[in-house]
Amino acid sequence: MEQIAFTMQLRPGCADQYRHRHDTLWPELAVLLRAAGIRDYSIFLDAESGKLFAVLRRPCGHGMDALPQHPLMQRWWHSMADLMETAADDSPLSFALQPMFHLT
């Protein structure tokens, strides 16, 4: 399993709605993410800056690269675009983080 981490930016005042939408994540989206190989996915918030920090695990041969073309993923992004900074296609602007230390 590979572990990756990235940041995204939440718009001011949107933390409660962001949490609510994830607490009620569409079941079919959870199935899609798991089918793409996503495991142990967590998102954390720095409330002061609105910075979201995400970390997930995925196996070699994962299917995450196909997610941006999937209509369900695009629908989710569109439903979340009012809460966070996004690209023109409504995908969240995300920035990969480099691993620096890991203690097992």
What residues contact residue 69 under an 8 Å CB cut-off, 6+ apart? none
Strand partners, 86: 92
Rounded Cα gap, residues 7 and 45, in angstroms: 10
Q: Which of 20, 22, 70, 102 is catalytic?
A: 22
The backbone torsions φ and ψ at residue 56, rounded to the nearest 5 degrees and listed phi first, read -150, 165
Q: Active site includes 22?
A: yes
Active site residue ranges: 22
